[in-house]
Amino acid sequence: MEKIIESRQMPQRPRLTPAMADVRRAIRQSLEKLGIRPDSLVLVACSGGPDSLALASAMAFEAPRLGLRAGAVIVDHGLQSGSDQVAQDASNRCVELGLEPVVVKKVSVIETGNGLEAAARDARYAALENARVELGAELIATGHSLEDQAETVLLGLARGSGLRSISGMPVFDPERKLLRPLLDIRREVLHQSLEDQGISFWQDPHNQDSKFARVRVRKLLATLEEELGAGFALGLSRSALIATEANDFLETAAHDLELAARDGTSAKSVSYRVEKLQTAHSAVLKTMLKLVCERAGASSVSFAQIAAIEAFITDWHGQKPSQLSGITVERVKDQLVFTSKPKPGAC
């Protein structure tokens, strides 16, 4: 279900303030770096909350000055009483800001075993992508802030699955066509920019519900900021950038190692020369092994599983094959062999 609202004439804009300037600058610089074709449509994901409305307001100002068109998508998850009215109010605000087209998407959130939070997120991003394709938009911009990035790093630390998990969210995700231009802007600045413009906003009650992991992490971050200093969230955000750069380097080196050591492939297996792997740095080797495991069909590969496979190379004493979810890894003489297991029900 969707509803497209035609835009009305924009109201007179207030005098520029430092907070408004910071938000607009972040959006302008992010769009300029992407080099988007003139007259392309950029969509804002807007919930009616303060972060996304600050994004919507600044996008409505900056996009036309870069020769771009700016619209908005509002996703109604239907998880709260009156959610349809919240979505309508958000669409009205976007129209008043001068965004066009403004589309409301209603979705059904169905839990699949990973919790309501994950199900809502999956439904939201699917709806955003559908809207992007339907409207022929170049990308979707989201209002994720510096604190959102810090929270993502904390959640990644809890998972403990390497640099990738603490790299946070990229400014631009080319596969999903998602732009997050506000990752260097604090929430208080976003809120101030709205106050300076006299724009009211909706506060999602789910943002205070501690049954959601993200909310618990948000409260923890606030406590850590209070006890360890106001720069804690900024430090986590910068750590995400450093981790991203380090992970990019490792993955590039791992790809090079994989190509250099590959010895043979078949429909079900791939083998590598152990002698080529023995001289690799442990961090590069572990990254390469995880890459090959995932490519072969393994799921949820753990640190312990990778360490066991690495021992086939660095501490070989006749170990039995490693059984992972979806694949088998074993050493056969001077080769490390990854074999995909038949899927249940396959002939």
Query: Band of the pLDDT at 229, cuts 50, 70, 90?
Result: confident
Do 322 and 180 sit in the same domain of this protein? no
Does 2 have pLDDT greater than 50?
no
> Do 98 and 189 belong to one domain?
yes
- CA–CA dist 295, 290 (Å, integer): 8
**Per-residue pLDDT tens over the stretch 109-158:** 777 766 777 788 888 999 999 999 999 999 999 999 999 999 888 888 87
**Which of the residue ranges 116-130, 311-325, 331-345 has the most confident prediction, judged by mean pLDDT?**
311-325
Length, in residues, of the chain:
347
Same domain, 157 and 295: no
Q: Would 258 be classed as within a structural domain?
A: no
The more confidently predicted of residues 204 and 264 is 264
**Kindly report the CA angle at 142 between 104 and 112, in degrees rounded to 5?**
70
| Same-domain status, 232 and 281 | no
318 and 191, same structural domain? Answer: no
- Measured between alpha carbons, how far is residue 185 from residues 28, 241, 270 in Å? 13, 14, 46
Range in 22-36, 225-239, 278-292 the model is least confident about? 225-239
Tally of structural domains, the chain: 2
Instruction: Report yes or no on 260 lying in a domain.
Output: no
pLDDT, average across residues 218-223: 86
**Mean pLDDT of the region 88-106:** 94
CATH number at residue 333: 3.30.465
Q: For the sheet containing 327-332, what is the strand order?
A: 262-265, 269-273, 335-340, 327-332, 322-324
- Please compute the mean of the pLDDT values over residues 314-325 and round it to a whole number: 94
Contact 192, 19 (CB under 8 A): yes
Same domain, 75 and 154: yes
310 in the same domain as 227: no
Residue 286 and residue 216 share a domain: no
Same domain, 275 and 238: no
| 91 pLDDT tier (thresholds 50, 70, 90) | very high
Q: Do 149 and 285 belong to one domain? A: no
Q: Domain of 239?
A: 2-243
Tell whether 251 is covered by a domain: no
Comparing 167 with 2, the larger pLDDT belongs to 167
- In the structure, what pLDDT confidence band is assigned to residue 99 with cuts at 50, 70 and 90? very high
Give the domain CATH number at 80: 3.40.50.620
pTM of the model: 0.78
Of 162, 182, 163, nearest in space to 171 by CA: 182
Of 209, 243, 277, the residue that ends a domain is 243
According to the model, what pLDDT value does residue 3 have?
A: 46
Same domain, 142 and 34: yes
Structural domain includes residue 319: yes
Q: Is residue 231 part of a domain?
A: yes
Is residue 101 within 8 Å of residue 135, measured between CB atoms?
yes
What is the pLDDT confidence band of residue 252, given thresholds at 50, 70 and 90?
A: very high
Q: Residue 250: inside a domain, yes or no?
A: no
Confirm whether 256 is domain-assigned. Answer: no
Percentage of the chain surpassing pLDDT 90? 63
Query: Are 55 and 114 in a shared domain?
Result: yes
- Which is more confident, 10 or 76? 76
